A and B are shown apart, each in its own frame.
Chain A
Amino acid sequence: MNRFLLPLGIFLVLAVFLAVGLNLNPREVPSPLIDKAAPAFQLPQLHDTGRTLTPQDMKGKVWVFNVWASWCVACLEEHPLLVELSKRNLVPIVGLNYKDNRADALQWLQKRGDPYTLSAQDAEGRVGIDYGVYGVPETYVIDKAGIIRFKRIGPVTPKVLDEQILPLVKRLQG
């Protein structure tokens, strides 16, 4: 009997490791930007290209920074949730329109609702690179001092919003 215990033990340990490994999402790469200052940028605003937007404009406020594009299918998934969030007036949402055509982007917002307090246009994707964007949509929570506190890669789900984003926003605002 005893001679079976060791192989059985090894098997169980391996099975646990594999089960945990298979349930991890390889797409969720831990961001090195958490707890770092939000990278500076100065971009034209989407609605009025004559005006610019920089993270400095949001200093003193907790804000949500959402990277999206009209060509991004997954953005459709989270969009109604963002529109709803914007109506609740809990936190300003700033949009970064990433590598998009301006006309397409404006049409997209007109058709589906515009949840953004302010929108910037990152036509070449340079700012996206500074924020470590690799899969649109991506969402950040940035605190009053301009420090990135949270990053979500992929669409925001009701669960992520209620369990992670909103409690964090509340804590940072308090």
Chain B
Amino acid sequence: MLLLLTTCLPAFAKEAAPAVDDPVLEQRAMKLAAELRCLVCQNQSLAESNADLAIDLKNQVRSQIREGRSDAQIREYMVARYGDFVLYSPPWKPTTVLLWSGPFMLLIAGALALVMYLRSRRARIVTTELTADEHARAQALLGGGDRR
């Protein structure tokens, strides 16, 4: 059995090879391509797109991985040519401060407005003390006595 397994394994490895010549590389390339926008069809990533330019750029990603460049270096290569727009997740820098912090600022503004509204509402509720007579009447209307 063991012998059978050991003889089988290399055969498997050889057969899987032609499908994608390097699955590890391909996986890394596709993961990177999924983070990059296709500029021809702007609502697709490079990974999803079959546009001519997207195919060229995917090949570019593959060949750069083969050359041993890091993911960050490849991302930088794309940004240098196509701008931050190619990144689905734009970097944190002066021009994107509003983009990243905007939702949080709106959340804080909303929370402040809510607190202010609740406070002003509480101030508007007028509490008046009942006289002894009114108290007795209310008690009678509600079913009388001190039974609770």
A74 beta carbon closer than 8 Å to chain B: no
Enumerate B29-67 residues with CB–CB distance to A below 8 Å: 39-40, 42, 52-53, 56-57, 60
> Do the beta carbons of B80 and A129 come within 8 Å of each other?
no
B52 touches A99 (CB 8 A): yes
> Are A29 and B81 interface neighbours, CB within 8 A?
no
Give A residues with C-beta under 8 Å from B. Answer: 26-27, 29-33, 99, 124-125, 129-132, 134-135
One of B60, B82, B84 near A132 (C-beta < 8 A): B82
What residues on B are CB-neighbors of A27 within 8 Å? 42
User: Helix, strand, loop or mixed for chain B's interface?
Assistant: helix
Give the number of chain B interface residues (Cβ < 8 Å). 15
What are 24 A-B residue pairs whose CB atoms fall within 8 Å in the complex? Answer: A27-B42, A29-B83, A29-B85, A30-B83, A31-B83, A32-B81, A32-B82, A32-B83, A32-B84, A33-B81, A99-B52, A124-B56, A125-B56, A129-B56, A129-B57, A129-B60, A129-B81, A130-B81, A131-B81, A132-B81, A132-B83, A134-B39, A134-B40, A135-B39
A132 to B79, CA, bound (A): 9
The answer to whether B79 touches A32, judged by C-beta atoms less than 8 angstroms apart, is yes
Which residues does B use to contact A, with CB under 8 Å?
39-40, 42, 52-53, 56-57, 60, 79-85
Determine the residue in chain B with the shortest Cβ distance to A26.
B42
